[in-house]
């Protein structure tokens, strides 16, 4: 799913103060852009909105949010890094450690502490069950263990561990790991197919293994457990623990509190993410099928394979996160609907079996790694980068919120020449631009009246609500696209694409992603969801707006002069990739600009590596890719590692830059290879004589 990041990287206390904006001004303040800023004030038509709750609980890596059975007085937040926090069900609550099992973990991007479940009779027996990965045979071991609380749920005793069972994992990904007690009092456990890609060992269709399956065991019927009599293979023919099979990676699942039905989000391979209602004895098709489509077999229309309740296309980087069937009171129109999201895209959907899914929120702006459900049936999203958000009805859902269809009408461009910024905007350039198929780009920024930019301790910039970032793309002399990245007044971020007409007089708003031809060249317009899968919350959303990228010329002084920065931020400039800086610095600057929005601590990539360029925060030895086995495939190169010193041909980092199709990186926003950038990375790898 996501990288292991146990601590929050940013500190608002360390951000630069904004108090002295006017005293540091070195030029006249320009009035803010009334027209462009008005875009941010438009209400959302989304059916739901997200409200931040428990502001003191700002913990990275959350994978489970739950309450004790029949007790709403406390919450429990389990993190992938191995710490479970507990806090009172009060808005100003401060979390305390419930249990810390970090010293037991085998860690990898999809490994760690992955599940937590209270025994239905916790009030009398004090039992809590954890699902975690621990060192052992194979890549590591997936372990289900029982622990005991002797203080009524304030803490859990690590020394009380009783291992229920261990499962050897052949690879480090697709571990599943979620656990829940069903209405029948039995413990359900979801495991992925064991990893690598495409299920190379055929676990999904092999009922003799526990991998690729939903398990069901009776932890009260025997020591360590008994087999329920109606499990499909309780009497033989397969592993007796299996409840259902044919799953690739059921990251999160849950039970409908009213009906007891089991629902799961099963993460796809290349093309389809799916939502399943898991029934006893069901075969959900992997790896014969991905979603409802043939994968390893064609035809694949076996009558016994269960199609998903819902599926959506993977645009290149997607990962479904299962939620809950809504049974609360705040959103009556959603009662009985299964709510789910995507870790990368941020879209939140609702579906009822037998009907088409509906989009509740087109882009949440959050990488939710899990949902939580309280005793009243209300739902909460757990942002992997930190923070808990309650799902609530959007009181403005009936209001119009579409942007103007004409770029000229947005107020974000010069009305006489929409290829230019208005006087109220401020243009800027980057030291190392993101590769965009060789297009030339112009960039400018709008800020709402009276607002200022916050410079975080790590150099990333946080833009206030009302901000609009504009980027114009040209192929040769011809404008092809203008993108607006808007920080709406309700806290949402959203990306919008405008496609230019033939004569270059104006551009029209696109509702979906498109592929268009411009002479001999093709241009890919991203969808709104794809925009936000790159503009990640871990990377500060705005990407290029950071001190290292903007430390050039008088740009920072100009921002101070406008009152948009309180004071001049300090920090080294990101070195140009074709300048005279050291080879390693130039290569790392390229990786920072083109890869680190996903490949960083708390980022959405499911592979190792932190490609941020920062001498103080990311030491070369901490990049985490040298001589590291790839978790997403070796691209057919035996013995490949993510980076092999002196050998680009054995380095997946280089292989993916050279590749085409599904194996290529970057996966979004580009159709052509960056030959100069690839040559730089290959030169750097060739020059390395050893790992840092």
Contact 413, 482 (CB under 8 A): yes
Under 8 Å CB-to-CB from 316, ≥6 apart: which residues? 530, 662, 667, 668
DSSP SS3 for 232: coil
pLDDT digits (tens, 9 = 90+) for 172-199: 999 999 999 999 999 999 999 999 989 9
> Distance (Å, rounded) from C-alpha 115 to C-alpha 105?
13
Model confidence pLDDT, tens digit, residues 587-607: 999 998 888 877 776 665 556
Instruction: Flag whether pLDDT at 331 surpasses 50.
Output: yes
pLDDT computed for residue 30 by the predictor: 34
CB 411 within 8 A of CB 35: yes
C-alpha to C-alpha distance for 271 and 328, rounded to whole angstroms: 33
- Mean pLDDT, residues 387-393: 97
For residue 515, give the nearest of 542, 497, 503 by alpha carbon. Answer: 497
Domains of the chain by residue range:
1-42+402-574, 576-692
Cβ(496)–Cβ(403) below 8 Å: yes
Sign of torsion over alpha carbons 677, 680, 682, 688: negative
Alpha-carbon Rg for the chain, nearest whole angstrom, is 25
Q: Are 131 and 163 in contact (CB under 8 A)?
A: no
pLDDT in tens, 98-157: 999 999 999 888 999 999 999 999 999 999 999 999 999 999 999 999 999 999 999 999
Give residues with Cβ within 8 angstroms of 657, minimum separation 6: 664, 665, 673, 674, 677, 678, 681
The residue among 468, 498, 502 whose CA lies nearest residue 482 is 498
Report in angstroms the alpha-carbon separations of 643 from 106, 170, 300, 522, 632. Answer: 22, 22, 38, 32, 14
Instruction: Kindly report the pTM of this predicted structure.
Output: 0.68
Half-sphere exposure (Cβ direction) of 91: Cα atoms closer than 13 Å = 5
Identify the three-state secondary structure at position 162: strand
Give the separation between CA 124 and CA 653, rounded to whole angstroms: 53
Task: Give the residue-averaged pLDDT of 610-626.
Answer: 64
The SS3 assignment for 676 reads helix
Q: Tell me the helices (H) and strands (E) count for the chain, helix number first.
A: 8, 36
């Amino acid at each position: 799913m996501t990288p292991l990041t146990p601590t929050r990287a940013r500190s608002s206390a360390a951000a630069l103060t904004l108090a002295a904006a006017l005293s540091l001004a070195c030029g006249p303040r320009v009035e803010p852009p009334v027209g462009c800023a008005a875009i941010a004030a438009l209400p959302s038509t989304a059916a739901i909105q997200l409200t931040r709750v428990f502001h003191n609980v700002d913990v990275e890596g959350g994978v489970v949010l739950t309450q004790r059975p029949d007790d709403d007085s406390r919450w429990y937040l389990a993190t992938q890094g191995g710490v479970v926090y507990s806090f009172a069900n009060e808005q100003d609550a401060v979390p305390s450690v419930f249990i810390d099992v970090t010293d037991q973990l085998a860690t990898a991007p999809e490994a760690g502490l992955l599940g937590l479940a209270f025994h239905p009779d916790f009030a009398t027996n004090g039992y809590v069950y954890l699902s975690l990965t621990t060192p052992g045979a194979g890549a590591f071991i997936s372990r289900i263990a029982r622990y005991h609380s002797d203080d009524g749920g304030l803490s859990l005793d690590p020394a009380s561990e009783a291992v229920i069972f261990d499962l050897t994992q052949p690879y480090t990904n697709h571990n599943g790991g979620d656990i829940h007690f069903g209405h029948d009092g039995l413990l359900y456990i979801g495991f992925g197919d064991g990893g690598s890609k495409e299920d190379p060992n055929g676990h999904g269709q092999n009922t003799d293994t526990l991998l690729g399956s939903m398990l069901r065991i009776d932890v009260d019927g025997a020591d360590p457990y008994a087999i329920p009599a109606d499990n499909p293979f309780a009497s033989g023919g397969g592993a007796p623990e299996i409840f259902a099979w044919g799953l690739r990676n059921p990251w999160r699942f849950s039970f409908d509190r009213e009906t007891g039905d089991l629902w799961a989000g099963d993460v796809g391979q290349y093309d389809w993410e799916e939502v399943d209602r898991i029934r006893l004895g069901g075969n959900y098709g992997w790896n014969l099928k991905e979603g409802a489509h043939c994968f390893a077999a064609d035809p694949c229309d076996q009558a016994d394979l269960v199609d998903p309740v819902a599926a959506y296309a993977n645009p290149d980087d997607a990962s479904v996160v299962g939620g809950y069937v809504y049974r609360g009171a705040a959103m009556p129109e959603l009662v009985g609907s299964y709510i789910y999201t995507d870790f990368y895209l941020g879209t939140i959907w609702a579906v009822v079996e037998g009907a088409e899914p509906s989009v509740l929120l087109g882009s949440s702006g959050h990488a939710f790694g899990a949902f939580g459900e309280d005793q009243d049936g209300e739902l909460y999203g757990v942002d992997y980068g930190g923070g808990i958000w309650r799902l609530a009805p959007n009181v403005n859902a009936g209001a119009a919120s579409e942007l103007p269809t004409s770029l000229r009408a947005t107020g974000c461009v010069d009305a006489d020449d929409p290829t230019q910024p208005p006087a109220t905007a401020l243009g800027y350039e980057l030291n190392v631009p993101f590769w965009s198929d060789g297009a030339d780009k112009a960039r400018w920024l709008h800020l709402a009246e009276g607002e200022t930019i916050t410079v975080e301790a790590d150099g990333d910039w946080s833009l206030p609500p009302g901000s609009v970032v504009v980027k114009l793309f040209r192929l040769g002399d011809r404008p092809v696209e203008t993108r607006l990245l808007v920080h709406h007044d309700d806290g949402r971020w959203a990306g919008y694409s405008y496609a230019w007409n033939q004569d270059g007089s104006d551009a029209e708003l696109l509702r979906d992603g498109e592929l268009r031809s411009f002479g001999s060249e093709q241009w890919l317009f991203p969808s709104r969801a794809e925009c936000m899968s790159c503009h990640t919350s871990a990377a500060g959303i705005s990407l290029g707006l950071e001190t290292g990228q903007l430390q050039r010329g008088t740009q920072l002084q100009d921002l101070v002069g406008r009152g948009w920065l309180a004071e001049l931020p300090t920090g080294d400039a990101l070195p140009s990739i074709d300048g005279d800086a050291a080879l390693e610095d130039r290569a790392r600057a390229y990786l920072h600009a083109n890869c680190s929005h996903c490949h960083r601590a708390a980022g959405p990539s499911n592979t190792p590596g932190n490609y941020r360029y920062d001498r103080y925060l990311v030491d070369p030895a901490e990049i985490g890719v040298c001589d590291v086995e790839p978790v997403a495939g070796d691209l057919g190169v035996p013995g490949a590692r993510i980076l092999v010193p002196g050998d680009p041909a054995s380095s997946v980092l280089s292989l993916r830059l050279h590749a085409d199709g599904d194996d290529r990186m970057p996966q979004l926003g580009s159709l052509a290879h960056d030959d100069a950038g690839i040559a730089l990375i290959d030169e750097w790898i060739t020059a390395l004589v050893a790992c840092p």
